[in-house]
């Protein structure tokens, strides 16, 4: 019952996380586009009111005119009807941390720890998980403070921080958890930017405008910088959110490098759209991003096992069935016996020859790349993996001479 209730909590948190994440990213993309698309106001009276720029748009059967005032309107009070974009980010981060707790912290022994990477107790793994999330923000924020005003150098330093974190995570956690933590660390930085800098800075500016004081523009500049950083983090975070569905990426022997290249491709593609909003069309940016993705597709292509040699001994189904029963069925059964599993992963059951026959190809792939068993919970040996791969290469027969399917 406990595992069943955790599955429901996982489902509801994930659904909520997706909804509020769409709202946050949508608002972020819109305001970055709006800021980059502003043009000088056409009316002299708008410029006299302090309008820095404006954008006319058509949408939903009507016409809109958005104007930006760097330090509030001149000669008139600031409206009390201000919309604040904050709860989308807070809700996304809180629901994401809820998922982290339900999936990776409660299930640390299964989801976080891979003894072949680092032998950790569940408690130590959770502590390191929290430390990475907090440490990532502290390191990033420190770089921003240290290199304020030197945007190119700061961008290079932040990129190096992300790459170093990617490599370090793969030296500590199971590969799937490393990918998710990379996204969670970036998402934490994004939400912390909103909570610690963007919203407080805006509050100070609003208070100064309403008090009739000279507005300090520095908080606005910091907020703009952090908002721009957030938009470049977005595509890597979105990939990390879906990466658990694609073991071909994180289960690769150099999964950290695969992730680094995917992050780089996302940043290049996002940069193209940011510059395009400023009427700077640089096609080499998406071309470079697509080239990185194509390079990954080519270099990561699966290499089929060599065909069976003439006279090579056939691996019997009885041998493979024994391995599956011992290493796989604890999770992949109608009623799993492995702690933490209420349902078989992805609905795959491997209890009968017919069920096994439905998944021969996928079984060979996931056993071969060591994605399964998950975190090698059941201690499948390399020799057993080779037996399964050889059986699949020999046709994946579901019967032996004395057996019927």
The pLDDT score that the predictor gives to residue 401 is 52
What is the 3 state secondary structure string of the chain?
CHHHHHHHHHHHHHHHHHHHHHHHHHHHHHHHHHHHHCECCCCHHHHHCCEEEEEEEEECCEEEEEEEECCCCCCCCCCCCCCCCCHHHHHHHHHHHHHHHHHHHCCHHHHCCCCCCCCCCHHHHHHHHHHHHHHHHHHHHHHHHHCCCCHHHHHHHHHHHHHHHHHHHHCCCCHHHHHHHHHHHHHHHHHHHHHHHHHHHHHHHHHHHHCCCCCCCHHHHHHHHHHHHHHHHHHHHHHHHHHHHCHHHHCCCCHHHHHHHHHHHHHHHHHHHHHHCCCCCCCHHHHHHHHHHHHHHHHCCCCCCCCCCCCCCCCCHHHHHHHHHHHCCCCCCCCCCCCCCCCCHHHCCCCCHHHHHCCHHHHHHHHHCCCCCHHHCCCCCHHHHHHHHHHHHCCCCCCCCCCCC
pLDDT given for residue 23 in this prediction: 95
Query: Would you state the pLDDT for residue 313?
Result: 76
Give the tens place of pLDDT for each residue, 18-64.
999 999 999 999 999 999 999 999 999 999 999 999 999 999 899 99
* pLDDT given at position 404: 41
Q: Is the dihedral of CA 199, 204, 205, 211 positive or negative?
A: positive
List, for residues 80-110, the tens digit of each pLDDT value: 899 999 999 999 999 999 999 999 999 898 8
pTM comes to 0.85
Pick out the chain residues at pLDDT < 50.
402-405
CA of residue 329 relative to chain centroid, distance: 30
Per-residue confidence (pLDDT) for residue 306, from 0 to 100 = 65
Quote the pLDDT of residue 373.
85
Predicted local distance difference test score (pLDDT) of residue 309: 67
pLDDT score at 96: 95
């Amino acid at each position: 019952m406990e595992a069943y209730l955790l599955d429901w909590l996982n489902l509801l948190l994930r659904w909520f996380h997706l909804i509020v994440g769409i709202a946050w990213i949508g608002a972020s993309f819109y305001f970055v586009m709006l800021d980059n698309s502003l043009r000088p106001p056409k009316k002299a009276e708008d410029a006299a009111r302090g309008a820095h720029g404006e954008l006319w748009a058509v949408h939903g059967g009507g016409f809109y005119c958005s104007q930006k005032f760097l330090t509030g309107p001149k000669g008139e009070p600031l409206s009390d009807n201000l919309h604040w974009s904050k709860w989308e980010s807070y809700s996304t981060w809180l629901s994401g941390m809820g998922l982290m707790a339900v999936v990776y912290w409660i299930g640390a022994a299964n989801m976080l720890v891979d003894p072949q990477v680092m032998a950790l107790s569940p408690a130590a793994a959770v502590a390191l998980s929290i430390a990475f999330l907090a440490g990532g923000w502290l390191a990033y924020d420190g770089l921003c403070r240290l290199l304020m005003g030197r945007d190119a150098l700061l961008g290079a330093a932040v990129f190096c921080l992300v790459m170093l974190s990617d490599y370090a995570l793969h030296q500590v956690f199971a590969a799937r958890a490393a990918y998710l933590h990379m996204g969670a660390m970036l998402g934490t930085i994004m939400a912390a930017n909103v909570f610690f800098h963007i919203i407080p800075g805006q509050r100070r500016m609003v208070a100064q405008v309403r008090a009739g004081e000279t507005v300090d523009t520095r908080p606005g500049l910091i907020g703009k910088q952090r908002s721009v950083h957030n938009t470049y983090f977005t595509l890597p975070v979105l990939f990390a959110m879906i990466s658990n569905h694609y073991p071909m990426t994180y289960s690769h022997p150099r999964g950290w490098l695969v992730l680094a290249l995917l992050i780089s491709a996302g940043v290049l593609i996002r940069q193209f759209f940011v510059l395009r909003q400023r009427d700077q069309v640089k096609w080499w940016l998406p071309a470079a991003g697509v080239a990185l993705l194509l390079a990954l597709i080519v270099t990561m292509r699966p290499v089929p096992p060599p065909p069976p040699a003439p006279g090579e001994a056939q691996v019997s189904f009885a041998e493979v069935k024994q391995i599956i029963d011992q290493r796989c069925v604890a999770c992949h059964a109608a009623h799993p016996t492995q702690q933490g599993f209420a349902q078989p992963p992805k609905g795959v059951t491997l209890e009968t020859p017919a069920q096994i026959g439905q998944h021969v190809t996928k079984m060979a792939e996931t056993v071969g790349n060591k994605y399964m068993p998950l975190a090698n919970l059941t201690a499948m040996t390399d020799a057993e993996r080779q037996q399964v791969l050889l059986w699949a290469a020999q046709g994946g027969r579901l019967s032996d001479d004395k057996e019927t399917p």
